Amino acid sequence: MARRGLSIDVEIRLYTGSDRDAVISVMRDLAVSELETYDRTRQPEDWGAHDIEEFQREIEKSKGTMLVAELDGAVVGFCNLHTHRNTEDDQDEVYYQYSYIGDLSVLMQYRSLGIGARLIKHCEEIVRAAGVKWLRLNVSATNTRGRKFYAEHGFEERLILLEKSL
């Protein structure tokens, strides 16, 4: 069955400096949504240019890519793809490389049109071409819609972070 909206004319392309303010808006919408399911998320207005600079530093370390989704000339979605991460610092895992998707988000008014699906697909193509076998991401346990979205895209829950309030 075709997913809704897959025929919309969205282009997935590399981030450029002129996308900065649009990406900050996308990150602020992500923060609004995350606050609905996790109350220790940063406030939307706290996101700014310094975060984009931090993204760039992190992306460089993992030979990754910042991707934007553009619709009718406007940036409506974003994600960071960390293409080469490894388990070097995880003492309980054997050494292997994986890729990691961070900060995937679509502007509120453009959700449920298939744009998130296009971003994920594009990441998968990059990861396959890079010869990396695993693609990871984090999602909050209470984000049922987000978890359903990732499950539909073939992501399986592997490591669960447990916490007790004291």
Ligand X SMILES: CC(C)(COP(=O)(O)OP(=O)(O)OC[C@H]1O[C@@H](n2cnc3c(N)ncnc32)[C@H](O)[C@@H]1OP(=O)(O)O)[C@@H](O)C(=O)NCCC(=O)NCCS
Contacting positions for ligand X (CB under 6 A): 5, 30, 33, 104-106, 111-117, 139, 143, 145-146, 148-149
What's the half-sphere exposure (Cβ side, CA atoms, 13 Å) at 101?
24
Instruction: Find the residue with minimal CB distance to ligand X.
Output: 116
CB of 96 to ligand X, least distance (A): 23
- CA torsion sign for 48, 52, 57, 58 is positive
Nearer to ligand X, 81 or 115 (CB): 115
Neighbouring CB atoms inside 10 A of 141's CB total 13
CB of 131 to ligand X, least distance (A): 26
Backbone angles phi, psi at 151, to 5 degrees: -60, -40
Nearer to ligand X, 85 or 118 (CB): 118
What's the half-sphere exposure (Cβ side, CA atoms, 13 Å) at 79?
24
Nearer to ligand X, 65 or 105 (CB): 105
Nearer to ligand X, 80 or 164 (CB): 80
